[in-house]
Amino acid sequence: MMGVKEKMTNSKLIPEIRIENLYKTFVTNKGQEVAALRDINIDIYSNNFICLVGPSGCGKSTLLRIVAGLEKASSGNAIYKNKKIDSPSSKIGLVFQEYSLLPWRTVLENVGLGLEFKKISFNKIKKIAGEYLELVGLSQFAGAYPYELSGGMQQRVAIARALANDPEVLLMDEPFGALDAHTRILLQKELLRIWEKNRKTIVFVTHSVDEAIYLADRIIVMSSRPGKIKQCIDIEMPRPRNRANPLYGKMSEQILDMLEEESSLATPLAELAVN
Amino acid sequence: MKKIGISFFLPIVIPVLFIILWHELALSIDNKVILPQVKDVLSLLLHPGQELISMGSLLSNVLVSLARVLTGYLLAVIIAIPLGILMGYYTKIFKLFNNFLGLFRPIPPLAWVPLVLAWFGVSSMATLCALEKGQLYIYLNNLKLSMVFIIFIGSFFPVLTSSIYGVTTVRKTLLDSAQVLGANQLDIFRKVLLPAAAPSVVNGMRIGLGVGWMCLVSAEMLPGSISGVGYLITHAYTLARTDIVIAGMISIGAVGAALDYLFRNLEEKRFKWQYLSR
């Protein structure tokens, strides 16, 4: 525990990912400009587990896609280790909400996909993919096809695929959003177990406050459209966190209140849209 | 047991009734130009190697037709698949070609006949290869350019449309996730786009082959044709040999159904994932 703390303080000197003065504006089909993200500034340090929470439509997924290099900021920068992010790179992995596995490939072939792009030899890919499949506990499904797996298992394969590529940073876009409550809690535990092992930097987008408190070192609360950073909250409860802990409940209430303010602000707009 | 019996007999009920009806009608009409007897047509089909109305056998004519269709069809596939994939993936290429091709799409293949005759006349693949005699000449001379072109037009659009559709409906998440894993443009084409679009492309190839095969009779009615099952039918008609007309029609149907079956079989085996995944 001490070791980890020390490592964190050391790496605090240079952020692994720095987002500075970032704006994102979309142009609708009618030519109207819609602001999605406004003046985002975040520093993310190595080995940290960050959760982004916010009401739906606040641009948190867009922010993640910009960091992944899939979209470009309208102004401002997303910087990875002093280099501007302008295209996807295998250093930064991304796990999608659902259905991102190639349905015509077996589970093992899916996990090895990123390694194929790196032109690694077939036997080596098989070995590495097998190891990561074991890490997520799905070795016996190596030869199965994605449609033969449940949603939770598919997401575990997607996580194994991202990790097999050995990224420095793992971005996760509501990866458990489509799962039932029970599977979701299981996978949260699973993800923490894996993270404790390899300590990648994780940026995890969710709209579940409970999930964020359970997982994160630090929660970034975003406001609704245009998305801005409302508050950063460090969670210092030791892991594994107990949902029965009064502090857990207090934190949850505090963040939910913040989000509620957002939705009450958003109501007149929503009414306008209906009318 | 009873259930198996029913499901086995169900598909042959209608054909059997149809043949009985045909047989009875033929007997009561008693005019083989209007409706020949079932047994006459059947005997033609059972002896496909038999020489007919000095045009060679039914089998050899079917094979000539098959060679023509496959030539036109393969040309269509070779051009339509790459073009369709590029049009599906690159919006600019789509915009470049789509309106132009959209004008040609509604023109029935048969409407091309006069123009095609003016262009190609009776020249054949043999003309293209500058052959004037020999065994190869006999084969290639059967592949008239005008027929190949008509069949090409018939097959081209179904293959093109399905290829475009196949590529445009690939889920964006699949492309994004490959990109994030470090795929370059070639990787994305080879490992994501093509396999994902393959079921739709193959479906288009199946429909294209069917349409090409249907264009056959009109193509073989063109001048310069002295063989092929389409020509056999029209020639038998002028000789009032309705039994040969029907035998020829049945062969066209049977070959078309067989080709379709081969494709369906391939689709079911190779693309099972498509029906099973959401």
Q: What's the CATH number where B174 sits?
A: 1.10.3720.10
* Residues contacting A158, CB < 8 A, separation 6+: A95, A96, A100, A101, A175, B177
Tokens 């940073």 label which residue? Answer: A169
Asked if B18 and B99 sit in the same domain, the reply is no
Instruction: Please tell me if residue B179 touches chain A, with a CB cutoff of 8 Å.
Output: yes
Model pLDDT for residues A225-258, shown as the tens digit of each residue: 788 888 899 998 888 898 888 999 999 999 998 8
pLDDT for A265 equals 58
Mean of all residue pLDDT scores within chain A = 87
Residue to mutate among A104, A153, A154, A170, with most B CBs inside 10 A, is A104
Dihedral sign for Cα atoms in the order A166, A172, A173, A178: positive
Return the DSSP state at A170.
E
ipTM value for the complex:
0.84
Q: Token digits for B119?
A: 């262009």
Nearest to A89 among B182, B196, B278 (CB): B182
Asked if B226 and B121 sit in the same domain, the reply is yes
Asked if B61 and B194 sit in the same domain, the reply is yes
The region that residue B130 occupies, defined by phi over 0 for left and psi between -120 and 50 for alpha, beta otherwise, is: left
Give mean pLDDT, residues A28-40.
87
Angle, vertex CA A156, rays to CA A154 and CA A161, nearest 5: 95
Whole-angstrom Cα distance, residue B22 to residue B17?
A: 9
CA distance to A45, A65, A93, A118, A130, per residue, from A90 (Å): 18, 14, 6, 9, 19
CB B87 within 8 A of CB B164: yes
Residue to mutate among A61, A66, A70, with most B CBs inside 10 A, is A70
> Which residues in chain A are closer than 8 Å to B274, comparing Cβ atoms?
103
> Which residues in chain A are closer than 8 Å to B276, comparing Cβ atoms?
103, 145, 147-148
Query: Does residue A3 carry a pLDDT above 90?
Result: no
Asked if B173 and B201 sit in the same domain, the reply is yes
Q: Extract long-range pairs of A189-196: CB within 8 Å, 24+ residues apart.
A: A189/A240, A190/A136, A190/A137, A190/A156, A191/A159, A191/A215, A192/A239, A192/A240, A194/A135, A194/A136, A194/A159, A194/A163, A195/A49, A196/A239
Whole-angstrom Cα distance, residue B220 to residue B230?
A: 5
Asked if B162 and B215 sit in the same domain, the reply is yes
Instruction: Please tell me if residue A106 touches chain B, with a CB cutoff of 8 Å.
Output: no
pLDDT for B46 equals 85
pLDDT for A264 equals 61
pLDDT for B11 equals 84
Structural domain span for residue A191: 47-72+83-266
First to last CA, chain A: 55
Whole-angstrom Cα distance, residue A51 to residue A47?
A: 13
Overall domain count for chain A? 1
Instruction: Please tell me if residue A161 touches chain B, with a CB cutoff of 8 Å.
Output: yes
Overall domain count for chain B? 2
CA distance B69 to chain A (A): 32
Asked if B116 and B6 sit in the same domain, the reply is no
Asked if B254 and B117 sit in the same domain, the reply is yes
Hey, are the CB atoms on A117 and B184 less than 8 Å from each other? yes
CA distance A209 to chain B (A): 25
pLDDT for A267 equals 52
Whole-angstrom Cα distance, residue A83 to residue A119?
A: 25
Asked if B168 and B255 sit in the same domain, the reply is yes
Question: Does the residue A42 lie in any domain?
Answer: no
> Which residues in chain B are closer than 8 Å to A175, comparing Cβ atoms?
none
Residue of A nearest to B185 (CA): A117
> Which residues in chain B are closer than 8 Å to A88, comparing Cβ atoms?
179-180, 182
pLDDT for B47 equals 78
Give mean pLDDT, residues A17-38.
89
Which is nearest to B179 in space by CA: A121, A131, A94? A94
Whole-angstrom Cα distance, residue A136 to residue B130?
A: 66
* Residues contacting B126, CB < 8 A, separation 6+: B132, B136, B137, B140, B141, B143
Which amino acid type is present at position A255?
A: I
Question: Does the residue A29 lie in any domain?
Answer: no
Model pLDDT for residues A129-173, shown as the tens digit of each residue: 999 999 888 999 999 999 999 989 999 999 999 999 999 999 999
Q: Token digits for A156?
A: 């575990």
Whole-angstrom Cα distance, residue B207 to residue A186?
A: 48
Whole-angstrom Cα distance, residue A70 to residue A88?
A: 6
Asked if B17 and B154 sit in the same domain, the reply is no
Hey, are the CB atoms on A117 and B183 less than 8 Å from each other? yes
pLDDT tens across the length of chain B (278 residues): 556 677 788 888 898 999 999 888 888 888 888 888 888 888 888 877 777 777 788 888 888 888 889 999 999 999 999 999 999 999 899 999 988 998 998 998 888 888 888 888 777 777 777 777 777 777 777 777 888 898 999 999 999 999 999 999 999 999 999 999 999 999 999 999 999 999 999 999 999 999 999 888 777 876 667 788 888 888 888 888 888 888 889 988 999 999 999 989 888 888 888 777 75
Instruction: Please tell me if residue A146 touches chain B, with a CB cutoff of 8 Å.
Output: yes
CATH assignment of the domain containing A194 = 3.40.50.300
Residue of B nearest to A169 (CA): B180
pLDDT for A224 equals 82
> Which residues in chain A are closer than 8 Å to B278, comparing Cβ atoms?
99, 147
CA distance B180 to chain A (A): 5
Structural domain span for residue B7: 1-30
pLDDT for B120 equals 81
Asked if B92 and B20 sit in the same domain, the reply is no
Hey, are the CB atoms on B196 and A113 less than 8 Å from each other? no
Whole-angstrom Cα distance, residue A219 to residue A206?
A: 10
Asked if B13 and B41 sit in the same domain, the reply is no
CA distance A182 to chain B (A): 22
CB B237 within 8 A of CB B249: no
Instruction: Please tell me if residue B180 touches chain A, with a CB cutoff of 8 Å.
Output: yes
Asked if B22 and B146 sit in the same domain, the reply is no
Residue of A nearest to B183 (CA): A117
